[in-house]
Structure formats: C-alpha cells, structure tokens
Amino acid sequence: MQVSTHWRLQEQRYNLVGETCEHCNSKLFPPRDVCLICEEPAQELFTFTGLGEIYSYSTIYDAPAGFEHNAPYTVALIKLNEGPLVTAQLTDMDNDELTIGQPVEMVTRKLRTDGDEGMIIYGYKFRPAI
C-alpha cells in the first residue's frame, strides 16, 4: 500500500474538499484541473457540506481484496446537494432501508486497513441524516 497516495488524498477524503470553477461556478468533486462543465481551468478549493441523496446503489457480496472484512456492504452514487455525483460506501443502514432519493450525510469512517501492521485508511462514507 502506497502511504504517500493515501496521504495526498487525505483532505478530500476527510472533509470532501473539492473545487469550484471560477468561470461557471460549477462545483467539482474530486478536485481536477479542468471544469467538467465549461472546460476552463478550475482551481479554487471548495468544502462540500456532505449532504446529498442516494442516486443509485449496489450491494457487494464478493468484495475485492482489502475490503473482504466489511462484506456485504453497499456502494452508492451520492448526488451531493452542490451537484456532483460521488461514489462511496453506505454505512449505519440496512439494505432493506435503502431507497433512491433518500437523504444522506457524510461521515468519516475506516475505509480499509493494510493488514495487522499497516496503515488504517480513513475517508468518507454516507449514512441516513441524523
């Protein structure tokens, strides 16, 4: 596991820090160099509220390496209130509670661990708003 890769992504993973386009005011997540809407450079950092709704979801029973520990778990597309779609795990909810359009909020949780001696990776997941 590349320690530096995870360290570089820390800000966006802990706090949903993306970008706002100074040309068309679109909000972007994850941060990228060029605005997806107007194709102009976008560099201004923007912290999302973490509020959104479930756009679509799928439950993983046969998890990829590093995520077996949590299976079964549900991955969703979350439509953030500011616009972008974000892929993230859902947490603190049962599969029979899920509905498209359900309001959710961002929480910081353990994403995975690198064995018994490696790093613990933290980042965003979404749960029903309290």
Q: Using CB under 8 A as the criterion, which residues of the chain lie in contact with another protein when the complex forms?
A: 10, 14-15, 69-70, 89, 91-92, 94, 107-111, 120, 122, 125, 130
Tokens of 86: 């974000």
Q: Quote the least distance from Cβ 120 to another protein, whole Å.
A: 6
If the CB atoms of residues 33 and 94 are measured against another protein, the closer one turns out to be 94
DSSP string covering 97-109: G--TT-EEEEEEE
The CA distance from 95 to 120, in Å, is 26
Minimum Å distance from CB 40 to another protein? 28
DSSP state of 7: H
Nearer to another protein, 10 or 59 (CB): 10
